[in-house]
Amino acid sequence: MPSVDFVVEWSNLVTAKCNLHAWKAEMGKIPTLAALVKRGVVIDNTTCILCNSGEENADHLFTRCIVAAQVWFAVSRWCKIAPVIAASVKEVLEVHNQAGLAGKARGVFCGIVRVACWCIWRARNSLKV
């Protein structure tokens, strides 16, 4: 039976591209190097291109990668909330629920997280040769 335990809800504060990216990332459907290998693509090295440590999968790219950690630290400081600490894509996409924000601020923070994820993905893609 397929899981319906997804956290992504559509946000009107960000572009459709950011919403779709968050949805695909949560489902494990973005083409990280590890995901491509699972799909049968021959790749010699699946090490994260942003940090050169750890296998590049969605959880690593958006939570464990040092680049992602620096992004979440900067976002936390800018938004004046406790540091964002997450171990999975799902936790990153739910962090707005635990940030101590309410109403519109919570929705805006959710949008910031989605845009930040999109920016991490774009940075990764700009380094890919």
What is the structure's pLDDT at 2? 44
In sequence order, what are the beta bridge partners of 55? 47
> Which pLDDT score, from 0 to 100, does residue 128 have?
67
| 14-68 tens-digit pLDDT | 899 999 999 999 888 999 999 999 999 999 999 999 999 999 999 999 999 999 9
Per-residue pLDDT, 52: 94
- What average pLDDT does the structure give for the chain? 89
Q: What residues are paired with 47 via a beta bridge?
A: 55
Residues of the chain above pLDDT 90, percent? 64
Question: Which has more pLDDT, 1 or 6?
Answer: 6
pLDDT confidence of residue 1:
41
Phi, psi angles (nearest 5°) of residue 120:
-60, -45
Secondary structure (DSSP) of 63-89? IISHHHHHHHHHHHHHHT-SPP--SSH
SS3 at position 47: strand
Using pLDDT thresholds of 50, 70 and 90, give the confidence band for residue 99.
confident
**Token couple for 62:** 């958006």
The token duo for 121 is 């993905």
**79, 73 Cβ separation under 8 angstroms:** no
Separation CA 90–CA 75 (nearest Å)? 17
Tokens of 31: 């083409």
